[in-house]
């Protein structure tokens, strides 16, 4: 007989979102196997509820209680599944903590993910928004993933091309949104590893540490130090990392902005467009360190919104909206939030 699913009702999500916002789920399930998802799908009541798949809760803004079923991915397991001349293939369960997984690969002597050290969240969430930092994105070491398809009830395997990765973007934010649940991810960690130190912050930190030819762990240590200096620890100050994406604009708009703001921070893109530093736009608009109610803009990085204590999701959303309107009126650029709003 199939065991009854341990559903919990009116479940507090406060400890499960890194903003630390107090909100409840109508129903909650700690998912420890793919079979549980099959069971949810074949249950008349549960299958009809709206679903929210939760990993580390680090890319989520809860503006209200969730009147549906939270599927909290809590699977575990990391293993080396294959090896060839070019790479070692490592599979990790969706529920594994991202940073701990990265540290595990480094402990095994495998480079590739070190620039993504200390990013909050889970392995299963990493491909959804193609997490990235310091010149590396998850797609760079991604091999394949398996996902449970709620439409068909089948488990599917998707390779890199199928996932359609973009800047903080993938198929899971579009066609497979609300449909696929990532079960595990396999990474191809390169044997001919080379340090990615093109970001000035990283190069400077390594120089300061007198590391001339860094090993993967040296790069990780440098990045951990940089992140600790610039970004608030969610365990101490509620936040969801960068709250907005860096906007991509036409060369014409970038040139016009540069004419009126000579110190504009922008990065050329392969297609001729430019990515602007949203943190710079927000900082220049005078928001750094400001607050609206218990929602605030972090003092050391204007792109990060923080919960100064007891903030509601609506307060954070109101602050985000005020910033968007202000940046729009000054620069003609609409900032797009990174987190999922509920």
> 273 an active-site residue?
no
Residues in contact with ligand EPU, total (CB under 6 A)?
17
- In the complex with ligand EPU, which residue's Cβ is closer, 204 or 207? 204
Tell me how far apart the alpha carbons of residues 145 and 171 are, in angstroms, rounded to a whole number.
12
Q: Residue 127 Cβ, how far from ligand EPU at the closest point, in Å?
A: 14
- In the complex with ligand EPU, which residue's Cβ is closer, 149 or 169? 169
**Two tokens at 161?**
């091309």
Range 77-136, binding ligand EPU (CB under 6 A): 133-134
> 242 an active-site residue?
yes
Tell me how far apart the alpha carbons of residues 312 and 114 are, in angstroms, rounded to a whole number.
34
Q: Which of 245, 290, 308, 330 binds ligand EPU (CB under 6 A)?
A: 245
Range 134-163, binding ligand EPU (CB under 6 A): 134
- In the complex with ligand EPU, which residue's Cβ is closer, 23 or 281? 281
Q: Which of 18, 242, 307, 312 binds ligand EPU (CB under 6 A)?
A: 242
Q: Confirm or reject binding of residue 331 to ligand EPU (CB under 6 A).
A: no
Range 263-282, binding ligand EPU (CB under 6 A): 265, 277, 279-280
Q: Residue 223 Cβ, how far from ligand EPU at the closest point, in Å?
A: 9
Q: Which of 23, 110, 141, 303 binds ligand EPU (CB under 6 A)?
A: 303
Q: Which of 234, 241, 247, 313 binds ligand EPU (CB under 6 A)?
A: 241
- In the complex with ligand EPU, which residue's Cβ is closer, 21 or 305? 305
| C-beta separation of 80 from 92 below 8 A | no
Helix H, strand E, coil C: the string for the chain is: CCCCCCCEEEEECHHHCCCCCCCEEEEEEEECCHHHHHHHHCCHHHHHCCEEEECCCCCEECCCCEEEEEEEECCCCEEEEEECCCEEEEEEECCCEHHHHHHHHHHCCCCCCHHHCCCCCECCCCCCCCCEECCEEHHHHEEEEEEEECCCCCEEEEEHHHHCCECCECHHHCCCCCCEEEEEEEEEEECCCCCCCCCHHHHHHHHHCCCCCCCHHHHHHHHHHHHHHHCCCCCCCEEEEECECCCEECHHHHHHHHHHCCCCCEEECCCCCEEECHHHHHHHCCCCCCEECCEEECCCCCCEEEECCCCCHHHHHHHHHHHHHHHHHHHCCCCCECCEEC
- In the complex with ligand EPU, which residue's Cβ is closer, 216 or 279? 279
Contact segment (CB under 6 A) with ligand EPU among 42-50, 173-181, 184-192, 238-246 equals: 238-246
Q: Confirm or reject binding of residue 25 to ligand EPU (CB under 6 A).
A: no
Q: Confirm or reject binding of residue 283 to ligand EPU (CB under 6 A).
A: yes
- In the complex with ligand EPU, which residue's Cβ is closer, 241 or 313? 241
Question: Which one from 242, 254, 266, 315 is the annotated catalytic residue?
Answer: 242
Catalogue the active-site residues.
168, 242, 338
Q: What residue ranges bind ligand EPU (CB under 6 A)?
A: 133-134, 230, 241-242, 245-246, 265, 277, 279-280, 283, 288, 301-303, 338
């Amino acid at each position: 007989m199939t065991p009854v699913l341990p559903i919990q009702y009116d479940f507090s999500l406060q400890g499960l979102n890194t903003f630390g916002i107090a909100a409840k789920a109508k129903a909650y399930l700690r998912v420890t196997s793919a079979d549980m998802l099959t069971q949810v799908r074949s249950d008349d009541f549960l299958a009809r509820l709206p679903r929210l798949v939760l990993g580390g809760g680090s890319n989520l803004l809860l503006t209200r209680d969730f009147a549906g079923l939270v599927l909290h991915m809590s699977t575990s397991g990391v293993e080396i599944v294959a090896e060839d001349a070019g790479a070692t293939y490592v599979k990790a369960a969706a529920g594994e903590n991202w940073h701990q997984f990265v540290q595990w690969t480094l402990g095994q002597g495998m480079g590739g993910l070190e620039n993504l050290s200390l990013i909050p969240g889970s392995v299963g969430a990493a491909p959804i928004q193609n997490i990235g930092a310091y010149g590396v994105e998850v797609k760079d070491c991604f091999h394949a993933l398996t996902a449970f398809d709620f439409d068909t009830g089948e488990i599917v395997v998707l390779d890199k091309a199928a996932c359609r990765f973009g800047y903080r973007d993938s198929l899971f934010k579009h066609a497979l949104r609300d449909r696929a649940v990532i079960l595990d991810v396999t990474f191809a960690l390169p044997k001919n590893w080379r340090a990615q130190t093109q970001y000035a912050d990283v190069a400077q930190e390594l120089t300061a540490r007198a590391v001339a030819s860094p090993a993967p762990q040296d790069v990780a240590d440098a990045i951990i130090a940089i992140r600790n200096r610039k970004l608030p620890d969610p365990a101490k100050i509620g936040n969801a990392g960068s709250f907005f994406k860096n906007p991509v604009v036409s060369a014409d708009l970038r040139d016009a902005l540069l004419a009126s703001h000579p110190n504009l921070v922008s990065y050329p893109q392969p297609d001729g467009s430019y990515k602007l530093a949203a943190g710079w736009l927000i900082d220049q608009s005078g928001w750094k360190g400001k607050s609206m109610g218990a929602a605030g803009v972090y003092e050391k990085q204007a792109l990060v919104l923080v919960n100064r204590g007891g903030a509601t999701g609506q307060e954070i959303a109101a602050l985000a909206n005020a910033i968007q309107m202000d940046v729009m009126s000054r620069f003609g650029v609409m900032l797009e939030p990174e987190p999922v709003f509920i």
